[in-house]
Amino acid sequence: MPPSEPGTAAATQHREGEDGNIRTYLRIRPSKNPSGLFAQDEEDVTRLKFDIPVDLKSGEVINNTQTRHEFKFNGVLGANATQEQVFDSIGKDAVLNVLDGYNSTIFAYGQTGSGKTFTVTGGAERYVDRGVIPRCLSLLYSEFKRRSDTQYSCYVSYLEIYNEQGYDLLDPSHETKALEDLPRVALMEDEAGNIHLKNLSMYMSATEEEALNYLFLGDTNRAISETAMNKASSRSHCIFTVAIEGRRAGGEKVTRSKLHLVDLAGSERVHKTNATGQTLQEAKYINTSLFYLEMVIVALHERTRGRRHVPYRNSMMTSVLRDSLGGNCKTVMIATINPEAPHTEESISTCRFAQRVSLIRNAAVVNEDLDPQLVIRRLKTEVRGLRDEVAYLRQEAREGDEPTEQEHGALRQACCEYVDQPDAAPLKELGLGALTLTRIRACFAILRGMVLELRAAGGGGGGDQGTVADLQKALQERDAEIAILVNMVKQGKAPPRAGTAAAASQAEAKGGAPAWEQAKAGANGGQKRQGAAAAAPPAKAAPPIVLYPSDRHVLDQPQQAFAYFRQRYPPGAAIEENKALLQKKYTTAKSVGARVNQARSTITYLKNTIEQIRRERAMEGLMDREEGKEGGAEEEDPEEAKYKEAIEQEKRVYKEGFQELRELKAEIERIQQLLEKARLKMQSDFDTWIEWHS
């Protein structure tokens, strides 16, 4: 009998019955020629069954090769699964776990050309093809804004492991140096067994746009080359790390967590790729590191049977992923397979590896620490308050002299600082200096005067402070940004900012290339130097990607030549799709902006109506007192209550519309970046096309 598969029913029950096991998902790459040798179980869609016919070379030969294979996953994403569906399955929970203080990891594993890099990073042409990393960053910064009670700091790094050597993809030296001349990232281990990476830079990113710019810069510096199985094969393992630090307002605890997004290089069989030279050397290192990864997986599974040693140190990749595999981390694996018949053997091998990974149990805990600075500050405040209290009691609550004009000004300043503290900041005590009853009474008088001033500014009543006064403050803060956004929508473009496509266009108009384009040019130069050792360079830059016109006179006229090239340019469909999507976002933003402006106008009208009702009530009360009538307890007018409720409803509409408008702004800028990048790429391809003809 052949050995049982790791995906048997007993193993599946063992995995599902434990919490904390690594979750595994399978993604099937779309193909025009699927083998038809596997299918999802009709009763359980998370199961995948392979049914391979027996290959009988002759009637007398007995073939005992296993023909049926069955594997169980947490989810199977078919060939029609979109990038958004993939992110909803594997990315959302990882992001939310990181925000809650847990370390999280998402890593892609599979054969070369099975779609790992497309899943993790995404396509560069269409906006809807964004991968797991850009979508994780978008959700992270959205959650930062939504969780306003916590202050977050975000840092990113990008590590490349090429031929078992670590390199920093965000190092500026990539622009001017070849890969072998760059400083290497070194592994260091402290006494507690924690891994530290020397020479790996980490950059703080305050906005989603900054984080995406670092991602794009790292992708342009990554080592890729063409193989027989993939025209743009990733020849290195890459780990994009997002470090989060969260501090809750008024709390002393700090959460520190990391999100590792790992794109492993694809395994490949040399006898299929016929690799030679530099490509063969890269394949050896890739397959060796993946073999060591499998050794770690097997050792972690055997820990339940008494095995203690896990060979993390065999490779740099397994050392970096030590916590992600069997440590303090919540890990998700997505296995990618090619459904075509020649790759069936590799697909089964990938599924077997995923089954072994699913048996590993991690022990994830919340990473919380006490901030010593906040603790010291709190203790100092408590000591200061206790000393003032002791001094007050020792003086036996003496009256004291009346405060001078200078002392009265200092007390008023202390009261203003106490009242004007931000809601999210820890509450500070009211500093009065030496406590006396005279000083206490003076402070109460100052605070009472402030309350009376606020009531007078709000229309004469104290009950509207939570509605009208707060609303005025919110409107003043948002009016400027709303005006900018609405103006942007009317003009049909986003405001130029550093790092956006508009800023890149301005820089280009002045004669210089955008920063990321310069970085890409430098990185490509380094990759060309690296690839020079493998084979001699071709005679010309690249073959023509668009057929030449029958009338060669068209090429002598630049405008007609460019129009001819643009109509037949292969990525033109993706560019037009992004333009249509951008126009759709503009239309949506216009309607949302109109809704926000309408809500603001309605709020102003309701506020004026409430003030008019209060003035009428005040006049009626004055007349009653002049006539000698005694009024009972003042009750809230039902009509005023109705208008207040309407104001609260309009405030919700205003806030929801404003948030939607900000999200649309970010999406519009992202699509404009893609269009600008596609425009530059088309211009470069056109220049190459013309040069090839000449």
pLDDT in tens, 376-434: 887 888 888 788 777 766 665 555 566 777 777 787 788 887 777 765 555 566 666 66
Name the one residue in this structure whose structure tokens are 């140096």.
177
Q: Report the range out of 204-208, 465-469, 473-477, 630-634 with the highest average pLDDT.
A: 204-208
Q: Are 136 and 94 in contact (CB under 8 A)?
A: yes
> Domain check: are 261 and 388 in the same one?
no
> Domain check: are 432 and 572 in the same one?
no
Residue finishing a domain among 336, 363, 390:
363
- Which residues span the domain enclosing 223? 9-53+62-363
Binding residues: 110-117
> Domain check: are 403 and 341 in the same one?
no
> Domain check: are 264 and 381 in the same one?
no
Q: Report how far apart, in Å, the C-alpha atoms of 601 and of each of 154, 598, 650, 659 are.
A: 38, 5, 10, 18
Whether 675 shows a pLDDT value over 60: the answer reads yes
Residue 641's CB is within 10 A of a number of other CB atoms, namely 12
Token pair of 178 as six digits: 């070849």
Given pLDDT bands bounded at 50, 70 and 90, which one contains residue 609? confident
Residue finishing a domain among 462, 496, 512:
462
Q: How many domains does the structure of the chain reveal?
A: 3
User: Residue 433's Cα: distance from chain center in Å?
Assistant: 48
> Domain check: are 276 and 355 in the same one?
yes
Q: Are 245 and 232 in contact (CB under 8 A)?
A: no
> Domain check: are 253 and 221 in the same one?
yes
Residue finishing a domain among 429, 462, 495:
462
Strands 195-198 and 184-189: antiparallel
> Domain check: are 656 and 559 in the same one?
yes
Whether 180 shows a pLDDT value over 70: the answer reads yes
> Domain check: are 334 and 409 in the same one?
no
567 residue type, one letter: Q
Residue 473 located in a structural domain: no
Strands 253-263 and 368-370: antiparallel
> Domain check: are 267 and 119 in the same one?
yes
Averaged pLDDT score across all residues of the chain: 75
Residue 242 located in a structural domain: yes
> Domain check: are 587 and 646 in the same one?
yes
**Residue of 598 and 541 predicted with greater confidence:** 598
Instruction: Look at the alpha carbons of 501, 504, 508, 510 in this order and tell me if their dihedral is positive or negative.
Output: positive
Question: To which H or E segment does residue 468 belong?
Answer: none
Binding residues for ATP: 110-117
Residue 496's CB is within 10 A of a number of other CB atoms, namely 13
For 465-492, the pLDDT digits (tens) are 445 555 555 555 555 555 555 555 555 5
Residue 417 located in a structural domain: yes
> Domain check: are 445 and 581 in the same one?
no
**Whether pTM exceeds 0.75:** no
> Domain check: are 237 and 140 in the same one?
yes
